[in-house]
Amino acid sequence: MTESSDITRDYDLYLGCVAPNRYPMIEASTVQVFKKLGINLHDMKGASCCPAPGVFRSFDIPTWRAIASRNITIAEQDRRDIAVMCNGCFGTLLEANHLMNSHPDQRTETNAILEKVGRQFEGTVKVRHIIDILYNDVGPKAISDMVIQPLRGVKAAVHYGCHLLKPSETRPWGKDENPTFFDDIVEASGAESIDYKDKFMCCGAGGGVRAAIKDVSMDFTREKLSNMKDAGVDIIVDCCPFCHLQFDLGQVEVKAMFGEEYRFPVIYISQLLGLAMGISPYDLGLIATKDKPPGTPPFIPTEPFVKKVVEGM
């Protein structure tokens, strides 16, 4: 790997809810891949729900901001920037950090609450999505240099998700309706990113829609799946545990609700890169071990994908 020395090599890893509590393979694979890249992800002890931007922010903005700021203060105490694996958590922590930094009145208000738990928001850390670190610090070139098992012949439908990109004024990529940075990372693994209709459309999980109005939420997913099918992809690659859940469990739900069957393995970016870098597919959660309890994800088996890669070699 081409070591670029000027990048930050220690982060607090913010886990969120879905990754550690439902899709721990995302957590496991991210830690391993980053370790390989020479970046240490430290535990962020006592972090809570971010809380979700489309849900809790929708109910009560001051509560949302206070809990988010509390999470940020943990990293501030650790004196480390925050690495985030989830678009929703990214949205919440980034936006809250931005609001607290740029609006003194909101900061004063929230700090008065944090004081009750012995905390103060100082505004000393950055919030970064792992895609941001992978693209802007590590770079696709360095990633591809580390690939020992190129995922040649794999056709990936890249799903960016919404909060990675928008609102663009606070995102590191600026305003661009057709970005390619995530595709570049995916392609660094040797896989091919396939263009499909409405690629940048929402998966349907966010904003509390999945919880409250399930059929509408699943109809988003169905449309995306159908567009992916039309484009002839093999797998879905994402960078958000909630999108991940929506596509994985969602394929089961779409079948139940609409009678349409799709069987795309859903791969989180660090699982994809980990495989290409030669990390064991068992460790990445791509092949289920015998200890995997029944009724837990992935609901669409990822083994066929691993098999294809290994056979393709």
Partner 1 sequence: MVNSDEEPRIGVYICDCGVNIAGVLDNDELREYAATLPNVVKSERYKFMCSEIGQKLIQEDIENGEINRVVVAACSPRMHENTFRKATREAGLNEFLFEQANIREHDSWVHMRQQDDAQSIAQDIVRMAVAKASKLEPLEVMKVEVKPSALVIGAGIAGINVAKDLGDQGFDVTLVEKTPTIGGHMAQLDKTFPTMDCSACIITPEMVEVGNHPNINILNYAEVTKVDGFVGNFKVEITKKPHYVDQEACTGCGGCSDVCPVITGNEFDEGMKERKAIYLPFPQAVPNKFTIDMDHCIKCELCKDECEPDAINFDDKPKKIEKEFGTIIVTTGYKAFDPSDYTPYGFGRFPNVITGLQMERELSSFGPTVGKPVRPSDGKAPHSIAFFQCVGSRSFQPGMNNYCSRVCCMYAMKQARQYKEKHPEAEIYILYMDIRAFGKGYEEFYEIAAREYGINFIRGRAAEVFENPENNNIIIRAEDTLLKRPIELEVDMVVLSVGLEAQEDATVISRLLNVSQTADGFFMEAHPKLRPIDTLSDGIFVAGVAQGPKDIPDTVAQAKGAASGAASLMAQGEVEIEPYFSVINNALCSSCLSCVDLCPYTAISYDKLANLVTINKALCKGCGTCTAACPCNAITQNHFKVSQIMAMIDTAIPTR
Partner 2 sequence: MVLIKEQIKKIDKSIVEEVVEDELLERFKSCYQCGTCTGGCPSGRRAAIRTRDVIRQALVGLDDDLLSSDLLWLCSTCYTCYERCPRDVPTTDIIIKLRNIASHRGLMKGPHLAVSKMLIETGHGVPINDEKWSNLRKSLKLTPLPPTVHSFPEAVKEVQTIIKELKFDELIAYGEEVKKKLAEEEKKRAPERIEELEAELKQLKEEAGK
CB 146 within 8 A of CB 36: yes
For residues 11 and 125, give the distance between their C-alpha atoms in angstroms, rounded to a whole number: 10
Comparing CB distances to partner 2, the nearer of 81 and 223 is 223
When binding is defined by CB under 8 A, the residue of 2, 3, 5, 45 that contacts partner 2 is 45
**In one letter, which amino acid is 166?**
K
Q: How far is the CB of 237 from partner 1 (least distance, A)?
A: 22
For residues 207 and 151, give the distance between their C-alpha atoms in angstroms, rounded to a whole number: 34
Comparing CB distances to partner 2, the nearer of 4 and 102 is 102
Comparing CB distances to partner 1, the nearer of 160 and 268 is 160
Strand intervals (E) in 98-198: 127-129, 155-158, 192-193
Q: What is the DSSP letter of 170?
A: G
By CB under 8 A, the residues from 147 to 206 that bind partner 1 are 175-178, 197-198
By CB under 8 A, is residue 295 in contact with partner 2? yes
Query: Any idea what the Cα angle at residue 241 is, between residues 213 and 181, rounded to 5°?
Result: 115
By CB under 8 A, the residues from 227 to 286 that bind partner 2 are 283, 285
Comparing CB distances to partner 1, the nearer of 198 and 260 is 198
Taking residues 30 to 69 in sequence order and writing x for each that binds partner 1 by CB under 8 A, - otherwise, the string is: ----------------------------------------
Candidates 244, 62, 95; CA nearest to 163 is 95
Helices 241-258 and 87-102, packing angle to 10 deg = 130
Which of partner 1, partner 2, none interacts with 197 (beta carbon under 5 to 8 A by kind)?
partner 1
CB 276 within 8 A of CB 189: yes
When binding is defined by CB under 8 A, the residue of 1, 10, 60, 124 that contacts partner 2 is 60
* Binding footprint of partner 1 on the chain (CB under 8 A): 175-178, 197-198
